[in-house]
Amino acid sequence: MLETVSTPKKGETTWLWLLKIITGALIFIILGIHFVVNHTLGTVEGGLLSYQDVVAYYQNPIIPIMEIAFLIFVVSHSLIGLRSIFLDLNPSPRALSTVNWLFSAVGIVSVVYGIWLVMTIVSRGS
């Protein structure tokens, strides 16, 4: 059967794409900070952070906020990007709906886990 004219299908829309680009830009910046801190400011040979270094680092309130924000940006960017790759394969509405649910769940679980981990480390310092 010959191709019919496309009808609009909701999929990646402007707002999701903007989120991908903006999180990408933010990751650029925060990853720089995150990388420098974790690989140069520590007491372990090579600049790595020891356990004590990590706990001390997280006592400054800016840090948990920055790292949790970083986690949210990276997980969002990664999952929206994966979803884009999936969209390139022309999924059916049902397949897309399944992926939407799955990726949302993975995203939420990852962020919740990350917040739990951060708060655990913060509490080790008191």
Partner 1 sequence: MSTTPNRPSPSNWLKWFDPRQREIGTWAFILNRITALGLTLYLFLHLIILSQLAGGEEAYQGFLDLIRNPIFVFGEWLVIIAGLIHGLNGLRIGLTSFGIAIPYQKQFFYILMAIAVAGGLYFAVRMFAV
Partner 2 sequence: MTNQWTLNLLVYRLKGNGAPHYDSFKIKANPDEYVLDLVERIWAFEDRTLTFAHACHHSTCGACGMRINGVEKLTCITPVHTVAKDGATVKVEPLRNFPVISDLAVDMGSLFRRMEQVGHRPVLELADEPAEPGIMRSQKAEDREIIRLADCIECGLCISACPIATTTPEYLGPAVLAGAQQSGIQNNRKLLALIDSQNGAWRCHSAFECTAVCPSNVEPAWRIMDLRMQVMSERIKNWFRSGK
> Which residues touch 58 (CB under 8 Å, ≥6 apart)?
64, 67, 118, 121, 122, 125
31 binds, among partner 1, partner 2, none (CB under 5 to 8 A by kind): partner 1
Residues 37 and 84 sit within 8 Å (Cβ to Cβ): no
Q: Which does 120 bind (CB under 5 to 8 A by kind): partner 1, partner 2, none?
A: partner 1
101 binds, among partner 2, partner 1, none (CB under 5 to 8 A by kind): none
Half-sphere exposure of 37 (CA within 13 A, CB side): 14
- Write out the residues near partner 1 by the rule CB under 8 A: 21, 24-25, 27-28, 31, 44, 48, 50-52, 54, 71, 74-75, 78, 81-82, 85, 88-90, 110, 113-114, 117, 120-121
